[in-house]
Structure 1
Amino acid sequence: MSDSVATVDPANLIASSGAEETVSGCHAGADTMKDAAAKAGKSEVLEQYAKDYPTGPHDQPQSMCPAFGSLRVGLRMRRTATVLCGSACCVYGLTFTSHFYGARRTVGYVPFDSETLVTGKLFEDLREATYQLADPDKYDAIVLINLCVPTASGVPLELIPKEINGVRVVGIDVPGFGVPTHAEAKDILAGAMLSYARSEVERGPVARPTSDASGRPTVALVGEIFPVDAIMIGRMLEPLGLSAGPIVPTREWRELYSALASPIAAMLHPFYTATAREFSSAGRALVGSAPVGHDGTAAWLANIADKAGVSAEVLAKTSNALLPAIRGALQAAPIDARITLSGYEGSELLVARLLIEAGADLRYVGTACPRTPWSDDDRNWLESRGVHVNYRASLEDDIAAVEEFQPDLAVGTTPVVQHAKEQGIPGLYFTNLISARPLMGPAGPGSLAQVINTAVGNKERFTRMETFFAGVGTGATSGIWPASSGRAA
């Protein structure tokens, strides 16, 4: 393969961009980093991110480093190598988090210092590392991820060949100052991979995609859903003459072809803006919301049937067979509690719908993700029932909701749960205890009610603990004593 960057001097691209100002690191501040990135030739990338992932009244929700989302997507794919380019402290934190979540996969890292960054040697090191990794016997793709400092300094991943020795190379910028949440960073890589796969299909024959053995048209499922939910959706689609297709983000490259071949993409998690754009460009129909609860399932099936051209008779027969079972499951697993709900996974509105249908008194739902067309049905349904829906919710917003509504249970991020428990209110961490459960079809109500009702039942225990530990951690019991107390400060 010819060297496509032989006539380009990346050192000039970086050194002339004002990179020396950004070498001080990510402590320079978001505005300074954005300005440096724009001067370094990253304006187009940042402008697209600003359109895809608009911020709210504040710059950014408080959550983990956004790049973790892209890293997670790459590490979950078979025959895919992932290389990070960023400050050593950032890389350490990201790899630690990935292994904490069970990645058990090597993460590549190309170190740098001020000299290699400014002179362009970092780009050469990245390029060399990519060539060394490009073994078609081991990998289908290599993912290169620029973190904050390399993005601000204009490290041009786009100049690395898109294919080396038959191995695809996907380079993306995922700076914390340009991507609001780790959820949306998943979309950046998923969308980039779909774009690459779509260009392969347009150029000519590709490897045979994985296909449904039944030969029925498939519905691609967008969002990292619980595995049982994919099975449940498949059962719902079968009477309509359809099958559940691949889950995007996918687990292997070939599944991207299958996803693109699906006539319909179900936007189960609504923040995948770049992914939706690729499906639309491929001429695929998009359906928002998800089959949660009775009303949500009925509306979703009707939308799917409409896009797939399924007759009204077949839809009615399918709905009549399925919806009574969901209603029965809701009645068998009631939730009688006031709840506030928040999170940063993107499925918060779906969980809120299910809670309300189960009988919960839900006053507030906050999500760190932005409002998109694919959550409008959920938002309208919730707001019609008096629920305050807050997109791009901040930690302060979520805590204020707990203070205002004094719920029996606060479901949210770690600091929200911590605040609730300090007030003697039971709390559940959304990511690990709620979103990682089946939510769809008849299985959803019972799964959710079990963990919710158990947590609500702990209120008396929290009251006893609050009484027993009253005053601990404050004043003289905080571990910090003034000199006048007779103890060393």
Structure 2
Amino acid sequence: MDDPRTPAAAGAGEALYDEAGQTPLANEAADMRAEAAAMTKRAGTMRREAEAMAQKPEALPEDAASGPAASGPKSEDGAGCHGGRATLKAAAEAAGKSETLARYAADYPVGPHDKPQSMCPAFGSLRVGLRMRRTASVLSGSACCVYGLTFTSHFYGAKRTVGYVPFNSESLVTGKLFEDVRDAVHELADPERYDTIIVTNLCVPTASGVPLQLLPKEINGVRVVGIDVPGFGVPTHAEAKDVLAGAMLNYARKEAAAGPVAAPRAREERPTVTLLGEMFPADPMGIAAMLAPMGLAAGPVVPTREWRELYAALDCAVVGAIHPFYTASVREFEAAGRPVVGSAPVGVDGTAAWLKAVGEAAGVSAEKIAEAQNAMLPAIRGALAAMPINGRVTVSGYEGSELLVARLLIESGADVPYVGTACPRTKWSAPDREWLEARGVRVQFRASLEQDVAAVEEFGPDLAIGTTPVVQHAKEKATPGLYFTNLISARPLMGPAGAGSLAQVVNAAMGNKGRFDRMKDFFEGVGGGHAAGVWEDTPQDRPEFKAKYARKVAKLRANEEAIGS
């Protein structure tokens, strides 16, 4: 799949991100609503034909005829894609995906509100696959979704081709899409190029019950892993990483139980600690130095960069759940009999507690644990003292490490009244939550954009760390802001390096307050919101017009959902 001109790529209907716009779409007619209605009528006819065909297994290949894609309720591309979360979820459950959705609901609970605002969750799992060596990634979904996902992935530096299996209403409702996916996987299964092929169902194929579980588990020695990552079932892109990581760990664990597997490139003789959750590349090296006095070594980071690392990850003494929301992955480690420890070695308190918990879980003596603590804690104290942070900071994001960042900020001297994360509360986040709450911090799991913005309004921070809209809101108020993903996650957090690195960027940002004030003064009087700009007669706000058109939009959406159902 590295070369889209290969026969395998052509068979998969593969499109590079900058060519996806040439893919035929189902909504190119001038009147989209009329087209959607016509497609719905055709889909009804084809659905009845498909149900009749399902009574005759000889009309379809055996596995396709018996799968949900051949006989369950269907959702077609043009209308189904816009049918709404409830409609898509109901369709998926009726089409045989109820077990998958129930597992996601248990692993990634969304309360108290419906779901946080985040990017398409499939970006997370796609990013994991694109970072792995000798791994092909194939998407099955609406062309617009595939275009957006591949563009975003390339934007983040993944210079890898993404396979795409296109579909239309007919191939979706008759089960032909599953056959197309299966054919594409067979053509791609070249052991000279790949160890693994990852196939991902996006919203519409999931809602239509396309049965990836019926794909062969292995073709020509190439593993095949199929996952569903619908926006109506997986709340955030961070948790979608766990969906894929958990699926791969499950596969690898069964391989290891069945017989010998590939050894890691560099075999570690000491007991290892597997690190769960993506982190800055320097952090595992820092953690390795902390573990060495206890006779332990840092193991692989999950999600891994190569399949064989999964075996080494499972063959550990302890799992460190650095990111505490990897529920599916934890389940696989526990099935392999591995103890799991929450939190991470951030700051003085966090490092001392984490080393103690890891050492005890690995059966290390109290003397060795104390030796490791004494070797590292003075350096961390020195780094914190040398780079203090004086100011109030609110923290929010959707990466899963927000609580760790808040802990480090507080130990650096910052006043942190609020930390919000789009990820859920789990037992592995308890140590960080309890530490923060004991210091008066309001911790909000499954935080919404509105809650994060309200915190900026309530606490008036000197710096707002958060997602793009939170930072935008802060800067409009002349408050410095830092984008969590690019400016906080992209630096070390663990050990002495983490303390110094975080303080440097935070203090630099807070030092820009004067520049924001000057810009605000310069643009004073140009208006804001509906009155933004320079006017002879300032426009008047018309809330009654907004209410009128809001009702029209709501009615239009209701009609579209009725068509989609």
**TM-score bracket, shorter-length normalisation:** over 0.9
1:104 aligns with 2:159: yes
> What residue in structure 2 maps to residue 357 of structure 1?
411
Which amino acid is the alignment partner of residue 436 of structure 2?
Answer: L
Cα distance change on mapping 1:323 and 1:188 into 2, 3 Å: same
Asked whether the equivalents of residues 426 and 458 of structure 1 are also in contact (C-alpha less than 8 Å), the reply is yes
Which amino acid is the alignment partner of residue 384 of structure 2?
Answer: L
**Residue 290 of structure 2: which of 219, 230, 236 is its match?**
236
Partner secondary structure for residue 369 of structure 1 = coil
Alignment of 1:433-472 (within 5 A): 433-472=487-526
Mapped partners of 2:302, 2:539: distance in 1? 62
The Cα of 1:6 is off from its aligned counterpart by 4.8
Mapped partners of 1:131, 1:411: distance in 2? 46
> What residue in structure 1 maps to residue 264 of structure 2?
209
CA deviation map 1:66-113 (0-9, x unaligned): 000000000000000000000000000000000000000000000000
> What residue in structure 2 maps to residue 406 of structure 1?
460
TM-score (norm 1): 0.95
TM-score (norm 2): 0.83
The Cα of 1:207 is off from its aligned counterpart by 1.5
**Residue 450 of structure 2: which of 385, 396, 404 is its match?**
396
Asked whether the equivalents of residues 22 and 153 of structure 1 are also in contact (C-alpha less than 8 Å), the reply is no
Which is worse superposed, 451-460 or 466-475?
Answer: 466-475
> What residue in structure 1 maps to residue 375 of structure 2?
321
Mapped partners of 2:523, 2:492: distance in 1? 36
The Cα of 1:25 is off from its aligned counterpart by 2.7
Cα distance change on mapping 1:10 and 1:73 into 2, 3 Å: farther
Asked whether the equivalents of residues 305 and 311 of structure 1 are also in contact (C-alpha less than 8 Å), the reply is yes
Cα distance change on mapping 1:46 and 1:123 into 2, 3 Å: same
> What residue in structure 1 maps to residue 181 of structure 2?
126
Asked whether the equivalents of residues 11 and 118 of structure 1 are also in contact (C-alpha less than 8 Å), the reply is no
Mapped partners of 2:526, 2:110: distance in 1? 39
Asked whether the equivalents of residues 379 and 496 of structure 2 are also in contact (C-alpha less than 8 Å), the reply is yes
1:347 aligns with 2:398: no
**Sequence identity percentage:** 70
> What residue in structure 2 maps to residue 305 of structure 1?
359
Asked whether the equivalents of residues 22 and 152 of structure 1 are also in contact (C-alpha less than 8 Å), the reply is no
Mapped partners of 1:483, 1:114: distance in 2? 50
Cα distance change on mapping 1:255 and 1:463 into 2, 3 Å: same
Asked whether the equivalents of residues 22 and 28 of structure 1 are also in contact (C-alpha less than 8 Å), the reply is no
Which amino acid is the alignment partner of residue 252 of structure 1?
Answer: E
Cα distance change on mapping 1:483 and 1:226 into 2, 3 Å: closer
1:148 aligns with 2:203: yes
CA deviation map 1:163-187 (0-9, x unaligned): 0010000000000000000000000
Cα distance change on mapping 1:336 and 1:154 into 2, 3 Å: same
Asked whether the equivalents of residues 209 and 258 of structure 1 are also in contact (C-alpha less than 8 Å), the reply is yes
Which amino acid is the alignment partner of residue 143 of structure 1?
Answer: I
**Residue 147 of structure 2: which of 83, 87, 92 is its match?**
92
CA deviation map 1:232-254 (0-9, x unaligned): 00000111000000000000000
Asked whether the equivalents of residues 222 and 248 of structure 1 are also in contact (C-alpha less than 8 Å), the reply is yes
Cα distance change on mapping 1:36 and 1:467 into 2, 3 Å: same
> What residue in structure 1 maps to residue 193 of structure 2?
138
> What residue in structure 1 maps to residue 72 of structure 2?
17
The Cα of 1:14 is off from its aligned counterpart by 2.2
CA deviation map 1:22-73 (0-9, x unaligned): 7613210111001000000000000000000000222111111000000000
CA deviation map 1:182-226 (0-9, x unaligned): 00000000000000000101111111234444x101110111111
Asked whether the equivalents of residues 212 and 218 of structure 1 are also in contact (C-alpha less than 8 Å), the reply is no
Which amino acid is the alignment partner of residue 92 of structure 2?
Answer: A
Cα distance change on mapping 1:477 and 1:34 into 2, 3 Å: closer
> What residue in structure 1 maps to residue 325 of structure 2?
271
Asked whether the equivalents of residues 67 and 147 of structure 1 are also in contact (C-alpha less than 8 Å), the reply is yes
The Cα of 1:436 is off from its aligned counterpart by 1.1
Partner secondary structure for residue 27 of structure 1 = coil
Mapped partners of 1:365, 1:457: distance in 2? 22
Alpha-carbon RMSD: 1.7
- For the pair shown, the structure with the greater C-alpha radius of gyration is 2
Which amino acid is the alignment partner of residue 411 of structure 2?
Answer: E
> What residue in structure 2 maps to residue 163 of structure 1?
218
Which is worse superposed, 279-288 or 464-473?
Answer: 464-473
**Residue 73 of structure 1: which of 128, 149, 152 is its match?**
128
Mapped partners of 2:537, 2:312: distance in 1? 67
1:31 aligns with 2:86: yes
Which amino acid is the alignment partner of residue 330 of structure 2?
Answer: A
Structure 1, unpaired ranges of 5+:
none
Alignment of 1:257-296 (within 5 A): 257-296=311-350
1:256 aligns with 2:310: yes
Cα distance change on mapping 1:123 and 1:469 into 2, 3 Å: same
Which is worse superposed, 463-472 or 40-49?
Answer: 463-472
The Cα of 1:12 is off from its aligned counterpart by 6.4
Asked whether the equivalents of residues 11 and 120 of structure 1 are also in contact (C-alpha less than 8 Å), the reply is no
Which amino acid is the alignment partner of residue 289 of structure 1?
Answer: S
Partner secondary structure for residue 365 of structure 1 = strand
Asked whether the equivalents of residues 220 and 264 of structure 1 are also in contact (C-alpha less than 8 Å), the reply is yes
> What residue in structure 2 maps to residue 200 of structure 1?
255
Mapped partners of 2:527, 2:202: distance in 1? 38
Partner secondary structure for residue 169 of structure 1 = strand
> What residue in structure 2 maps to residue 421 of structure 1?
475
Mapped partners of 2:335, 2:222: distance in 1? 25
Which amino acid is the alignment partner of residue 261 of structure 2?
Answer: V
Mapped partners of 1:344, 1:57: distance in 2? 16
> What residue in structure 2 maps to residue 188 of structure 1?
243
> What residue in structure 1 maps to residue 546 of structure 2?
none
Mapped partners of 2:245, 2:354: distance in 1? 24
Mapped partners of 2:449, 2:526: distance in 1? 25
Asked whether the equivalents of residues 531 and 538 of structure 2 are also in contact (C-alpha less than 8 Å), the reply is no
Partner secondary structure for residue 507 of structure 2 = helix
Asked whether the equivalents of residues 40 and 153 of structure 1 are also in contact (C-alpha less than 8 Å), the reply is yes
Mapped partners of 2:172, 2:143: distance in 1? 13
Which amino acid is the alignment partner of residue 421 of structure 1?
Answer: K
1:336 aligns with 2:390: yes
Asked whether the equivalents of residues 226 and 438 of structure 1 are also in contact (C-alpha less than 8 Å), the reply is yes
Mapped partners of 1:46, 1:473: distance in 2? 47
Mapped partners of 2:282, 2:430: distance in 1? 25
Structure 2, unpaired ranges of 5+:
1-59, 541-565
Which is worse superposed, 100-109 or 6-15?
Answer: 6-15
Mapped partners of 2:511, 2:459: distance in 1? 18
Which is worse superposed, 195-204 or 9-18?
Answer: 9-18
CA deviation map 1:410-440 (0-9, x unaligned): 0000000000000110000000000111000
**Residue 385 of structure 1: which of 434, 439, 447 is its match?**
439
Partner secondary structure for residue 495 of structure 2 = coil
Which amino acid is the alignment partner of residue 308 of structure 2?
Answer: R
Mapped partners of 2:423, 2:227: distance in 1? 20
The Cα of 1:467 is off from its aligned counterpart by 1.0
Which amino acid is the alignment partner of residue 427 of structure 2?
Answer: P
